[in-house]
Amino acid sequence: MTQTSNRFFDEVARLMNDAAGVAQGVRREFETLVKTQTERWLRDLDLIKREEFEAVKDMARLAREENEALKVRIAALEGQIKASGGGAQPGPPAMSG
């Protein structure tokens, strides 16, 4: 009876090990599927990287600073024109085409 009982428990243990191996395989397969789908979804969203965002943000800041400096310069030049008794107000440059 002991011999039969041990063999029965050995078979149950082997079956449990096989089931655990299958479960691990299924888990790995599921994780791979989720990772692949997530990467595809993020790629389709056309997101930008943090470094790219920071670079564009810096470019915009520099452009704003340059605009402000140019506004001050234009105001100073207009002031010089008025002070020198210039005639008509300068308008926007004529577009040539």
- With vertex at residue 20, the alpha carbon angle to CA 18 and CA 24, rounded to the nearest 5 degrees, is 115
Q: What is the pLDDT of residues 5-58, one digit of tens each?
A: 788 888 888 988 888 888 999 999 999 999 999 989 988 888 888 999 999 999
* Residue spans per domain, the chain: 1-46, 48-84
Question: Which tokens in the block code for residue 43?
Answer: 């790629």
Query: Using CA of residue 81, residue 85, residue 87, residue 89, what is the dihedral sign?
Result: positive
Query: pTM of the full predicted structure?
Result: 0.44
CA distances from 55 to 5, 46, 69 (A): 72, 17, 21
